[in-house]
Amino acid sequence: MTSVLNLVGFILVAVGSCTAMWGIFKQANGYYTFKATVWTFAQVIFSLCKVFVTQGPTEASKMFGYNLNNTRVENRAQSLLGFFAVFTGFVLQLAGATVLYIATLTDAAEKAHPH
């Protein structure tokens, strides 16, 4: 029973974390100047890190500043969707933490009173 609760709790926390991260990505839609896909976002982050490592933090901040100066208009529907995704992600994380807590209590009870 405990292992099933642990697995369910882990899945809920992981899905909640991913949902919240996706929601934050959606909320920030007015700040990135690229097509809003996870792949494109990853490429931009990789490029920024590469510039940071090879040319230093000053050049990386210039690249980052360029992106901020060329922002798009915010899509408020996407931002609201992101807000709800973040909230849902937090609720899923809370549910997962609760299930993991119950698993801990169940495990402790089983050890205290073996059958």
Q: Which tens digits make up the pLDDT trace of 85-94?
A: 999 999 999 9
The pTM of this model reads: 0.70
CA-based R_g, the chain, Å: 21
CA dihedral 82, 87, 90, 91 (to 10 degrees): -130
First to last CA, the chain: 14
The pLDDT value given to residue 59: 81
Quote the crossing angle between the two packed helices 76-112 and 2-27, to the nearest 10°: 160
Is pLDDT of 74 > 90? no
